[in-house]
Amino acid sequence: MRAVVQRVLSASVSVDGEVVGSIDGPGLVVLLGVTHDDGPPEVAWMARKIWELRIMREERSASELAAPILAVSQFTLYGNARKGRRPTWNAAAPGPVSEPVYEAVCAELERLGATVARGRFGADMQVSLVNDGPVTLVLESA
């Protein structure tokens, strides 16, 4: 499992011009990619890492601030463009595998205490955000 985590002041995700998820920050935007063998251990690790990571201002975590999270499924995080000009997506799990894992990460974040807004899985989404400083991290489960 791979996630790009960005600290924001606000963010929203739209599908066909309709806002389907939004947060007013400070908070986090999480772009989450799932690979073929991700399961409950990776779900638990990723949710806990996102929630407790000290990347908010003054080295605080989202959990300390009760900061909201906007979670967006992002299979392209597993794109491979090492050869040629056309990326391959072989490492990304297909929708029937990745959607339940994405939902499980969101549910685990909520179980930990987070308020989680979601994108729409599999949709062509437009994500808008206002960065809170240049703070972006890539997280990858073992």
User: Does an H or E element contain 108, and which?
Assistant: helix 95-112
Q: Is 76 a catalytic residue?
A: yes
Catalytic residue among 6, 35, 76, 115: 76
Task: Measure the CA–CA gap between 21 and 106, rounded to whole angstroms.
Answer: 13
Catalytic residue among 75, 115, 121, 136: 75
Task: Measure the CA–CA gap between 5 and 61, rounded to whole angstroms.
Answer: 12
Catalytic residue among 35, 74, 115, 136: 74
Tokens of 123: 């949709």
The per-residue b/e assignment along 66-83, b for 16 or more CB within 10 angstroms, e otherwise, is ebbbbbbbbbebbeeeee
Q: Is 121 a catalytic residue?
A: no
Q: Is 88 a catalytic residue?
A: no
User: What is the set of active-site residues?
Assistant: 74-76
